[in-house]
Amino acid sequence: MDSDERFMRQVLRLARKGLGSTSPNPVVGALVVENGRIIGSGYHKRAGVPHAEIVALSKAGDGARGATLYVNLEPCNHYGRTPPCTKAILDSGIRSVVVGAHDPNPHVTGGGCTFLRSNGVEVKCGVLEEECTRLNEAYIKYVTRGKPFVIVKGALTLDGWIATKTGDSKWITNEKSRKFAHSLRKRVDAIMVGVETIIADNPLLTPYLTRDSAPDPVRVIVDTTLRVPLQSRVFDSGTSALTIVASGSNVSNTKRKRLEGQGATVIKCQMRDGRIDLADLLDKLAEMSICSVLVEGGATLFGSIIRERLVDKFYMFIAPKILGGDNGVAFTRGPGCDMIEDCLTLRPSMVRRFDDDIMIEAYPG
């Protein structure tokens, strides 16, 4: 591994500290290196505060003059909530900048690196580009397509069930798997479930198994006819996070007002085949600056969002348990494919064990 890759891996570790806190901004880490020695480091903590480059340059002080800056994403070259990082880089006297990946934001693309080069700074781009791009995959989809990055998380028995015939699903996976799943909740802007999950499990939909300081994600309940019980724990979960109930277009004002009295925000969505049009719902969430959504069930919602090809990534947890029989709750409900060749094919990017459980991280292929 050359020195550029070694320092970029440290940058990525710094950047990951911002996961779940920076949206709608990307997660970014930065190092200032002089003669192989790190003299300044930083990461972007949340939107509106100094960017990673500014933090690292501030720590380096006068030592930044003639040094190299490492950053996983192209430095911004525009005024947003904060001034452009490119100006601060020039003012610091940095000699060279090593970038992991270009920023596809229409306000940034090519601008940061081009501006620095035109002002005499050496720029090298593309170091660990795949890892740097993947780290900000939700941000990239949001700024390029204006839609949230959709993740499906499922926990299955070895024979493919997510619950017994009585609806019992506690617990298919072990504690380590559940803790990792809660860490996923902290990385996203919103958690989405169908109303049947609320009725059956009465979940909090908060990452209570983690101790991360990132803000709790928005809770989104897909509920075409507003059947969600008013006494559901999701309305009294001790978090300041917004609870959104997505309804169909023909719900009564009385039901809507009752839910709003519980602190929920009700948004009406277009209908498709008698159900909420999930693509329309995702567009409405994007308008609320929600860049990433973790879909946690149940089977009806899983089936719909997969059939509509709206999923960007899967986390599938498989436990070494066999329910047996044919009367459990399958991972998805609704019509499936007639032919195997029509199945959604996944491209696994990682397989990981949590004691006896196996987790497969995969992208639609």
For residue 140, give Cα distances in angstroms to 122, 263, 290, 292: 25, 32, 13, 11
What does pTM read for this prediction?
0.91
What was the pLDDT predicted at 166?
87
Instruction: Report which of 206, 189, 204 is spatially closest to residue 150, judged by C-alpha positions.
Output: 189
CB crowding 295-309: b at 16 or more within 10 Å, else e: bbbbbbbbbbbbbee
Query: What proportions of the chain, in percent to the nearest 5, are helix, strand and coil?
Result: 30, 25, 45
For residue 337, give Cα distances in angstroms to 21, 149, 259, 329, 345: 39, 24, 37, 18, 12
Q: What are the residue ranges in the chain where pLDDT is below 70?
A: 1, 78-82, 107-110, 209-213
pLDDT in tens, 281-317: 999 999 999 999 999 988 999 999 999 999 999 999 9
Distance of CA 7 to the CA centre of its chain: 25
What was the pLDDT predicted at 30?
98
HSE-up of residue 60 (Cα within 13 Å, Cβ side): 31
Cβ atoms of residues 73 and 132 within 8 Å? yes
Handedness of CA 35, 39, 43, 44 (dihedral sign): negative
Compute the distance between CA of residue 26 and CA of residue 29 in angstroms, rounded to an integer.
10
What was the pLDDT predicted at 1?
64
Task: Tell me which of 53, 74, 196, 296 is the catalytic residue.
Answer: 53
Peptide bond into 365 cis (omega under 30): no
What was the pLDDT predicted at 210?
65
Active site residue 5: no
Compute the distance between CA of residue 34 and CA of residue 171 in angstroms, rounded to an integer.
51
pLDDT in tens, 75-116: 988 666 667 899 999 999 999 999 999 999 876 655 889 999
What was the pLDDT predicted at 250?
86
Distance of CA 135 to the CA centre of its chain: 10
